[in-house]
Amino acid sequence: MACAQKSAVEYLRKCRRDLVTGMQNLPLITENLYQQKVFNVHEVDALKAEETEFDKARSILDWVIKKGEEASYELLSILDFTRKRTLQVDLHVWICCFSFREDADASYSFGTKPCQNYQMELKTKAKRILKNQWQQSCKYLHNKSQTNFIYIPLVLETGSVVKTAHSKIKKKCKKFRKLRPKKLRSYIPDKQETLSPEDLLKWKTRNILLIGKPGIGKTTVVQQMLKMWTEKDDKQPDYVFYFDETAVSCVSNLVNLESCLFDGYLKPKEEDRREVFEDIEENSENVVIVFDGVTSVQEHSILQKIMDHDLLPDAKVIITCRTEVEDDVISDWPSQKVYVQGFSEESIRIYYQMMLGHNPDLLYVVLINQELFSLSHVPMYAFMIVAFIPFKNDTVTNQSNTVTEMYIHIFRDALKKCGRKKTGQIDRYLREVKDQLYLLMKNAFSATEQKSLNLPEISGDETDICHAFLKMITIRDSLTSETKYCAFLHNTMQEFFSALWLVENPDEIEKVLKLCQTEEIQHMRHVLPFLCGLLGEHNNKLLKCLFSEDQMKKTSERFTEKLLDTFLKPQSDGEDVDLLYVCQCLYELQSSNACLMFLEKMKHQLDIDVNLDPHQSCALSYVISQSRDKEVHLNLQDCTVSDTGMIMILSCSPQIRIKVWDEPLQQIKFLLESCHKVSKNYETMTSCCWTSDKPDLTQALLDLCSHVKDYETQSGRSLLPALQSVYQTPDVWIIDLSQRKTSILLEVLKLQTEKKPVELRGWTDEESEVMSFLQCLPYISQLGLEVSHVHDVNRFLLRLYIKAAETETQTGDQMMKLLTSVCTYTTFPYEEFDDTEQSDFLLDLYSHVKDYETQSGRSLLPALQSVYQTPDVWIIDLSERKTSILLEVLKLQTEKKPVELRGWSDEESEVMSFLQCLPYISQLR
């Protein structure tokens, strides 16, 4: 009900004259009145029969007012909720002056039934476009678990940010000043938190221009906007029309807007066509039109009129185009420019985790490679890498996947798309355009040699081939002038094309090898791994359309030996040979003979003194694995290796013997993860690391056991049995119990195939630790303690003997027999203990046992009787203890023993007590 101050009926009557002429979109008003049961179907039909809009409006108002307060309030609510579509602007203030209930129902429609149906059809088409696009991609992928389009965040930057980036590019064009890893990472854009496809949809600006190089993700951004629109569940009608590159060229030739939207995109039902089109024209603020891939705009074309808002004045127009056509096509179009920069580092990882996470071995192949990881900021390249790695071989860990081979596939696929060719037509197409490609190769080599990223002889509009690999960089030189440069999409792609030029010009290779040794031109070294890959026999099939196979074979044979001679010879005294660089080249070459030649030149001795990243480890392990039957000695003592890198190196067993670090724990941790990842006999694999003497071996093995137990708990796997051979190594276990729990020692001793001596250090007399140590006795041949103070040793032994006697009394286990077998005074406690200390210990033990028996009510002495048969002579200092204790101890003997007295007393009571000892003494001294 309306508020008490205002009646809905009176409110309508007061403004009836203005409403008759000011109400718009009468079918929408009628539709909502019918849905709210104010009008019935007969009244709706009667309204449709009215000849003019004036008559319809008058009938609506008269019928509603006649129906009373509730019906009038419902009409006012409809007009208020849909006022942008149903009231002229001057009536907006009028409707706002009415007081509506707080619980007013807002479930009104914004569009008529035909409009709503068309909107649903648009969303269905949008979903179909996204699904088809994904299914098309899945043809190349092994992992098809993701069935729908998924958006991985891309870095989007506004024009003001990118100008700064262009100035950085200008500086980079002069010199390759950064170290290579930093240079490669510089291609990956920094993650931006402030801009997303959702933000672009919400922007009030009517014109948005998305700009970026080929494959950088422009289409992905607009498709994400399309996806978000299909998932909206609010009532406001939206019309989103998405024209891809093919559709854009078609609609620009159409004569009017209606044909463009309906005939060029999606037709409504014939009977609804007029009503839907009128709604789109009258409510253009709810229309979004996307032109994805604009390359040209004809003057006075339908595309130009939509962009200029001569048609659909309030619509949002989103256009994507490549950087090189921006100025020529839509330089004067007033718009908000957004530059698509590609994947951030985080997004690259998310993408590969999603696409390759089902196979960790495939995943780390890319993540460990700085060239591939950097290149992956271009989503198209990341997709190619994902498609290629599993395609080559499902068992990727047994197959090499070289960087060059992936680049060749990217190269071929880019040309396939550029020429709009099928897969079977690629080779023929490459032959047709090879003159253009040779020009690009020549310019790439020249620019690389001069430390430049610019290609001075290539114009951005010279050939379509260039656009497949190049980007345009425009730099404003002054107030009224600017200079345009062509550059490769990525620095490594320029190096790849430089290597292609060397394949075509093999006489220049020796010159490049010499130049690589000079400080000024040493950056050319980065071209040579690509050259090795291109000359590899495994890539001949992919390149024979450009180069003669015989020529490539001859070039490869000559080049390999020259490469090794060049880089295995130090250029100055004291200079180290870059073994890892040579291994990288050999890995790209994929030649077993070349690897053998290298190993023979190195006499199968490889000393590595730099930290190994996983990619270097991959190349190194490949070279070692080609050694056939001869063992390679690898010195890793002065470097560290990543987990995945060590796994690859260990997979070379048994062709390898590794000299490990001084601290075995540094490499032993890698054995743990290797166990289930390397398809080799684990005992053989671990033996390659256990070489020479290791002073802290026992500590490292105990640490390893701790790591293994944690890993077993987390993974549910049983690994300790696989490590059994490792735990046979120590001759003596030297254990510091102050640094670890005795339970770990027990686990280690159980792995032995035979008992070994144990020497304890830093022990504790805590009851729980003493009890745990007793469980170790069955696995010990002899027990020794590091003696720092006799009193400390005695205290620990007292606890050990008492606990053993207690356990034997409770369980019946022969603990005392076991203890005395590994801990007797014939072998222990070594020369540090004399006979006096032995006798004192046994007397102290007796005193402690008697106190224990008194407190606990248990009898332990029978269990200790065998211990008291040990001394050959009892050496007693009566000044330090009561004779009564000696008497009780002597009674435990099974035969009389000599007694040597010291420090006796002449007190009558002590003399009397000693007389009682005489029956148990064979000789008194």
- pLDDT tens column, 870-906: 788 888 887 777 788 888 888 888 889 898 888 777 7
Top pLDDT among 460 and 561 is at 561
As a whole number of Å, the end-to-end CA separation of the chain is: 122
Identify the band that residue 478 occupies on the pLDDT scale cut at 50, 70 and 90.
low
Query: How many Å separate Cα 48 from the centre of its chain?
Result: 62
Question: According to the model, what pLDDT value does residue 140 have?
Answer: 58
**Residues 319 and 413 both lie in one domain:** no
Question: Which of 158-167, 205-214, 309-318, 320-329: highest mean pLDDT?
Answer: 309-318
pLDDT for res 830: 39
What was the pLDDT predicted at 352? 86
Co-location of 104 and 156 in the same domain? no
Q: Are 922 and 896 in contact (CB under 8 A)?
A: yes
> What pLDDT is attached to residue 103?
54
Verify that 120 and 62 share a domain, yes or no.
no
Give the end of a domain, one of 532, 548, 567: 567
- Tell whether 273 and 213 lie within a shared domain: yes
Would 20 be classed as within a structural domain?
A: yes
What average pLDDT does range 444-471 have in this prediction? 73
Is the bond preceding residue 829 a cis peptide, omega within 30 degrees? Answer: yes
User: How far apart are alpha carbons 8 and 11 in whole angstroms?
Assistant: 5
Same-domain status, 188 and 255 = yes
Give the pLDDT band (50/70/90) at residue 19. Answer: confident
**pLDDT (0 to 100) of residue 456:** 67
The answer to whether residues 65 and 80 belong to one domain is yes
Q: Which residues of 475-491 are buried (b: 16+ CB within 10 A; e: fewer)?
A: eeeeeeeeeebbbbbbb
Sheet holding 733-736, edge to edge: 733-736, 756-761, 780-785
Determine the pLDDT at residue 445.
92
The predicted structure's pLDDT at residue 221: 93
In a domain, residue 471? The reply is yes
Question: Which of 468-477, 607-616, 840-849, 915-924 comes out lowest in average pLDDT?
Answer: 468-477
Long-range contacts of 94-102 (CB under 8 A, 24+ apart): 94/15, 94/18, 98/2, 98/6, 98/8, 98/11, 99/2, 99/3, 99/5, 99/6, 100/2, 100/76, 101/1, 101/2, 101/3
Which of 534, 567, 600 marks a domain boundary? Answer: 567
Q: What's the domain count of the chain? A: 3
Q: Is the same domain home to 98 and 122?
A: no
Whole-number pLDDT of residue 86: 79
Beta bridge partners of 207: 317
Between 695 and 327, where is the model more confident? 327
Local structure of residue 87 (DSSP, 8 states): B
In a domain, 665, yes or no: no
pLDDT at 455 over 70: yes
Which CATH number characterizes residue 291's domain? Answer: 3.40.50
Instruction: Decide if 741 is inside a domain.
Output: no
Burial class (CB within 10 angstroms; exposed 0-12, middle 13-18, buried 19+) of 229:
middle
Amino acid of residue 584: Q
Pair (121, 93) in one structural domain: no
Q: In the predicted model, is pLDDT for residue 237 greater than 70?
A: no
Per cent of the chain over pLDDT 90 is 11
851 or 463, which is more confident: 851
Measured in whole angstroms, how far is the alpha carbon of residue 756 from the centre of its chain? 45
The whole-angstrom separation of Cα 543 and Cα 549 is 8
Q: Do 228 and 165 fall into the same domain?
A: yes
Alpha helices in 331-433 (DSSP H): 345-356, 360-367, 370-375, 379-392, 403-418, 426-432
Q: Give the C-alpha separation, 233 to 230, whole Å.
A: 8
So what's the pLDDT on residue 3?
Answer: 45
In a domain, 497, yes or no: yes
CATH number at residue 72: 1.10.533.10
**486 lies in a domain?**
yes
pLDDT of residue 653: 64
- Render pLDDT for 141-156 as a digit per residue (tens, 0 to 9): 655 556 677 888 899 9
- Does residue 263 surpass a pLDDT of 50? yes
Q: Are residues 304 and 177 in the same domain?
A: yes
pTM, to two decimals:
0.52
Of 567, 587, 609, the one marking the end of a domain is: 567
Radius of gyration of the chain (CA): 44
Give domain status of residue 915, yes or no: no
E-state strands within 752-904: 756-761, 780-785, 874-877, 897-902
In the chain, pLDDT over 70 holds for what percent of residues? 77
- Please indicate, yes or no, if residue 212 is contained in any of the structural domains: yes
Domain of residue 305: give its range: 116-126+152-343
Average of per-residue pLDDT across 673-683: 45
Tell me how far apart the alpha carbons of residues 636 and 665 are, in angstroms, rounded to a whole number. Answer: 14
List, for residues 177-228, the tens digit of each pLDDT value.
445 555 566 667 777 666 889 888 888 889 999 988 777 889 899 999 999 8
Specify whether 98 is located in the same domain as 170. no
545 and 439 in one domain?
yes
Residues facing 796 on adjacent strands: none
